[in-house]
A and B are shown apart, each in its own frame.
Chain A
Amino acid sequence: ETGVTQTPRHLVMGMTNKKSLKCEQHLGHNAMYWYKQSAKKPLELMFVYSLEERVENNSVPSRFSPECPNSSHLFLHLHTLQPEDSALYLCASSQGPSSTDTQYFGPGTRLTVL
């Protein structure tokens, strides 16, 4: 299934680097999400966008900066990350942000911060 794609699939970066994660959804959805999945911890919601407007920022540090230029694309810009930021970053999309809208997930980007 290629409804939600993410690039790159793997990323290794130093603490002083700047990089971006990209997510694209081909489902005609209006809401997009970033989640973080750390080892032995539940998935944590980071950001929610609805119609390109951020509707939720779940107390995420400013070294993570999301961007949603249109309803099909979502970026996560990374700068001055810490080793504890190493995790799997998942993108998801849904028809809308309501509680009954099913979220469809991408394969994730495995990020390692050295």
Chain B
Amino acid sequence: AQSVSQHNHHVILSEAASLELGCNYSYGGTVNLFWYVQYPGQHLQLLLKYFSGDPLVKGIKGFEAEFIKSKFSFNLRKPSVQWSDTAEYFCAVKGKSNTGKLIFGQGTTLQVKP
């Protein structure tokens, strides 16, 4: 079955701490990968995406993610978080041959303490 698993449901960090959010997927084929973020009171917006090429992709606001094909993983990282990074983060996959269907993980709530 196609699925996305985000291991951490709720993460609490202090400012300047490093962040890594796990994402693993199960999909019978090649995929495109996405991280979306939802800040409090705002709509979902794209943080970064991976289609092909360099498996380390950089997104907005200093975020990056690494695609490790052998581990079916696409973990999100940031070296030093800020209070403004407090948000909910969603990993999603879409099959390269699949029209439109994004499959989302359950989301990880990140709380950054000032």
Contacts and interface: CB of A to CB of B under 8 A. Distances in A.
Nearest to A100: B51
Interface residues on B, range: 20 to 34
A13 B103 CA distance: 29
Interface stretch (A43-51, A60-68, A71-79): A43-51
Nearest to B6: A42
Interface residues of A, number: 30
Contacts of A45: 100-103
A55 B46 CA distance: 23
A33 B94 CA distance: 14
Interface in B78-113: 90, 92, 94-107
B18 interface: no
B8 interface: no
B45 interface: yes
Interface of A: 1, 4, 31, 33, 40-45, 48, 50, 55-56, 58, 90, 92, 94, 97-108
